[in-house]
Amino acid sequence: MSGNVFPVRDYDLAATLSSGQAFRWREEGAAWVGIIGKHWVRLASDGCSLVAETAEPVSDWTWLTHYLQLEIDLEAVLRSFPQDEAMRAAVVSCRGLRLLRQGPWECLASFILSSTKQIVQIRQIVATLCERYGEPVKVPSGYAPEYAFPEPARLAAVSEADLRACKMGFRAPYLLEAARRVASGQLDLAALGSLPEAQARERLMDLPGVGRKIADCVLLFAYGFPEAFPVDVWVIKALQKLYFPRRRAKLRRLQEFAGTYFGPHGGYAQQYLFHYMRVMGNVVRKS
DNA sequence: TACCAGGAGAGCG
DNA sequence: CGCTCTCATGGT
């Protein structure tokens, strides 16, 4: 076991790790356990710092601070949001919500699997995929075996039927084709980050099964393009209810509005709206 | 049971 | 274009 303490305030681990950006974190008491690359990690927060434990000794923690985006000035991000009633409410409801910076392949593959799936189901499919095709990672003694997210080359070598057996349904051929293009070098994921946002989006949307929404998720959650603004069913509900309450706006119109209205950290604003709507939905449903 | 889920793509008028 | 249907599967 190895550990480290990182001073940071306003980091809501629960909101961040369960908000539908990443699908491999589970709550364990007051802590969160997950896999980042080849590392098993347990994270806990005490308000002014974040405590990390790993299964293996770590000398350079850059992979973790980068993933968690600890260097981000959240206050500055929040200040850049439009000062309207809806955004204020969203920020108050989940202060400390952050955007992660994930590996492009895991992020792309996960969101290909996400289409018309609930978050709990996406987690299940990803878990099955990792158990069957991921490389084992070192875990602390007493813990169940864990696996890295499968490499593109590994998935490129399996059959569509094998993938369907992981319960991903019609998404199987999409994931398979993505794995093949990345494994063959036809799609260079590492190069996308240095392209202009629009070009990177185009490249992603060349993939079958990847439209505007999934491409924007990858642009935001893996590459950190700050203005990428995924518009999904929840965000449509939020934008419709909060900003277009009178008339029914079309997707194209909402897309356009989102791209201009929310400022230089639109992606962050989007995640607050998304989380806010989901939490509100649960509250309403329970009461 | 009926409906919906962090969509995308094909078919149709 | 813009709308509708379909895709596979599980949760509520």
CA Rg, chain A, in Å?
A: 19
Q: For strand B, which residues in window 27-46 of chain A come within 7 Å by CB?
A: none
Confidence of residue A159 (pLDDT cuts 50, 70, 90): very high
Residues A268 and A99: beta-carbon distance below 8 Å = yes
* Residue pLDDT, tens place only, A101-120: 999 999 999 999 999 999 99
Distance CA A268, CA A136 (A): 33
| Cβ contact A255 with chain C strand, < 7 A | no
What is the SS3 string spanning A211-235?
CHHHHHHHHHHCCCCCCCCCCCHHH
Distance CA A123, CA A117 (A): 10
* Residue pLDDT, tens place only, A168-207: 999 999 999 999 999 999 999 999 999 999 999 999 999 9
| Cβ contact A286 with chain C strand, < 7 A | no
* Residue pLDDT, tens place only, A132-142: 999 999 999 99
When pLDDT is averaged across residues A33-60 and rounded to a whole number, the result is 97
Residues A219 and A249: beta-carbon distance below 8 Å = no
Please tell me the predicted confidence (pLDDT) of residue A285.
47
Residue–nucleotide distance: A165 CA to B4 C1' (Å): 23
Percent of chain A with pLDDT over 70: 98
Please tell me the predicted confidence (pLDDT) of residue A246.
87
Mean pLDDT over the full length of chain A:
95
Please tell me the predicted confidence (pLDDT) of residue A282.
64
Residue–nucleotide distance: A116 CA to B3 C1' (Å): 13
Residues A183 and A150: beta-carbon distance below 8 Å = no
Side chain identity at residue A189, one-letter code:
L
| Cβ contact A120 with chain C strand, < 7 A | yes
Q: A109 has which bridge partners?
A: none
Please tell me the predicted confidence (pLDDT) of residue A287.
39
Copy the structure tokens of residue A59.
């000398």
Distance CA A75, CA A265 (A): 12
* Residue pLDDT, tens place only, A209-263: 999 999 999 999 999 999 999 999 999 999 999 999 888 889 999 999 999 999 9
Nucleotide nearest to A252 in CA–C1' terms: C2
| Cβ contact A118 with chain B strand, < 7 A | yes
Backbone CA torsion sign across A123, A125, A126, A132: positive
Distance set, CA A220 to CA A91, A165, A215, A230, A252 (Å): 19, 30, 9, 8, 19
Residues A170 and A200: beta-carbon distance below 8 Å = no
Residue–nucleotide distance: A251 CA to B13 C1' (Å): 21
Q: For strand B, which residues in window 227-246 of chain A come within 7 Å by CB?
A: 230-235
